Structures are given as C-alpha cells and as structure tokens.
Amino acid sequence: MAWEAPMFSWEGVSEFVAVAETESFTTAASRLGISTAQVSRQIGALEARLAVKLFYRTTRKVTITDTGQTYYNHCRQVLDGLAEAERAISDLHQTPRGRLNLTAPVTYGESRIAPLVNDFVVRYPELEVNLTLTNQMLDLVAESYDLAIRLGELEDSTMMAKRLASRTHYVCASPDYLAVRGAPHTLSELEQHNCLQGTVGYWRFQERGKTRHIRVTGNIRCNSGWALVDAAEKGVGLIQLPDYYVEAELQAGRLVSVLDTYRAPDDGIWAIYPQNRHLSPKVRLLLDHLGQGLA
C-alpha cells in the first residue's frame, strides 16, 4: 500500500502564535488585522482539534499552558522556516546590490580571488566591493566583513565554512641546482640541501600515511613566496610552496618538483562567514561564483 503523508492544517496556528507572544487576544487580533472574535474562534477550534488546553483565560490575563508552550516552540520554528523559505525564493529574483566586504590572504587574493571578484562586479555592477588583502586574521564580526578566504587548516570554529578548492605544496628547485647538488630522494637527504625558508621553519610531508614536519635550514629566510621562487629559479636552493606560486615555473621547466612520493595531502581553500541563518543573495552568489571559478 502506498504511503500517504499525514494531513496537517495551518488553521489557527498563526493566531495561536500571536496570542502566545502577546498574551492577549485583542493585541493578537490587532497584529493579524482580524477581529478578536475570529482569533478566539480559531484558538477554540485548534484546541478542539488537538484535544488539549493551550491557554488559561481569565478576564484580566491570558497565560499559556505547559502543553501550549511545547506546541508554541514547534510552531515558532515552523513559521520561521516558512518565512526563511519565502525570503529565499524572493532572493532568487533580486539583483545583488549594495556593499560587500571580504578579505583574503595577499598573494592568493591577488592571483586568484581578486580576478574572480572583478568578474563578479562586471556581472553585477550595482555592487560596491571592499576587498582587503591581508595575511592577518581579521575579526569578521567586529569589523563587519561578509566573507573571508582562509588557507589550510581552520582555527575559528565559531564561523561557518565552505570549502572552495584545494592547494598542493611542491618541493622544487631549478635544473641548475639539481645538476650540481643532485635531487633528494628521501626526507633525510634534506639535511644535505640548502632549503630556503618562509615564515615557518619546517616543511610538511607525508610518510607511510602519517604527517611529518621536517625542520630545514638554508641561507635565505623570507616572508615573500615570490622572493623564494626567484631565488630557487636562480639556483640558490630548494623551496616548498603552494601550487599558485610555482605551477607556471614547473610547467615551463624553470623549476623541477622533487620528493613527490612524500607530498602531503592537499589542504583546503575555505570561505568562512559569520553564522547567519539567512545569507544575503550577494554573499550566496559570490560563494557559488568563487567555488566555480576555483574548482
């Protein structure tokens, strides 16, 4: 026998919620734009249908019963969900406009995020975008940001997060360097090489299914990935950097990838945003746009 969904009647629910929130039949009627008598009839019919008492009524006061409170909690969620659904449908027909504040790391923002944001503005010219490129972890709520791009492991669990893409870290060097020093084939051989460092004094690998952090040393330490790429191209040493720094050099043969069998798993490119039940159309559309562009 085919399953049939249980019948549910909305009749009386809006009136019940209004009375529960105002503690008055008269005030509830005024809120709904109907007569007090109609509110009373709907509540009476609802109580009869449910076979429970929802309110205690006196000439001076209306008090919700324990059963009524339980019913109200569920009805409020249902009405909120219905309002959310209606807003979502309405948003589908709205053109994004107004101010949009987002932040991203400097290098990744310049190379990947900014071009996609610019394309988004071309599509929706009524937007006003404020894109802040910084490697600082800004407080999105305190500084009124709609969206932030984060790389790697996430630390802030109070935010909502959507994974947009992945990044791969390469260890590489120039053909000239490898011709003179040889290519490392094991992690222990890194001790014999000039490893050019960024802001972190270790490199990340995977060996036998486990993550390993290897301390490395070299004669250059710099907080600019592009400066390290330049040094590696000139034969100074090995570097470990994400794909968006080195992919063009690898494809052109100016750099050569080594230790590929020990490469750590790809980590995430994330969009994070404050916990809101309802994302505005502009933020939701930008999330979709970034996800498609970075995929």
Give tens-digit pLDDT for 24-44.
999 999 988 899 999 999 999
Whole-angstrom distance, CA of residue 107 vs CA of residue 145: 19
Q: Mean of the per-residue pLDDT values for the chain?
A: 88
| Mean pLDDT computed over 39-61 | 90
Whole-angstrom distance, CA of residue 132 vs CA of residue 89: 31
| pTM for the model | 0.61
For the chain, how many helices (H) and strands (E)? 10, 12
Going along the chain, which residue ranges are E strands?
55-57, 62-64, 98-104, 127-133, 147-151, 160-167, 169-173, 202-207, 210-215, 239-242, 256-258, 267-273
- Determine the pLDDT at residue 77: 86
- The single-letter DSSP state of residue 96 is P
Asked if pLDDT for residue 187 goes beyond 90, the answer is yes
Q: Which of 94, 100, 105, 93 is nearest to 134 (CA)?
A: 105
- Asked whether the beta carbons of 216 and 192 are under 8 A apart, the reply is no
Least reliable range by pLDDT among 38-52, 136-150, 213-227, 244-258: 136-150
- Asked whether the beta carbons of 173 and 255 are under 8 A apart, the reply is yes
The half-sphere exposure of 36 on its side-chain side, counting CA atoms within 13 A, is: 5
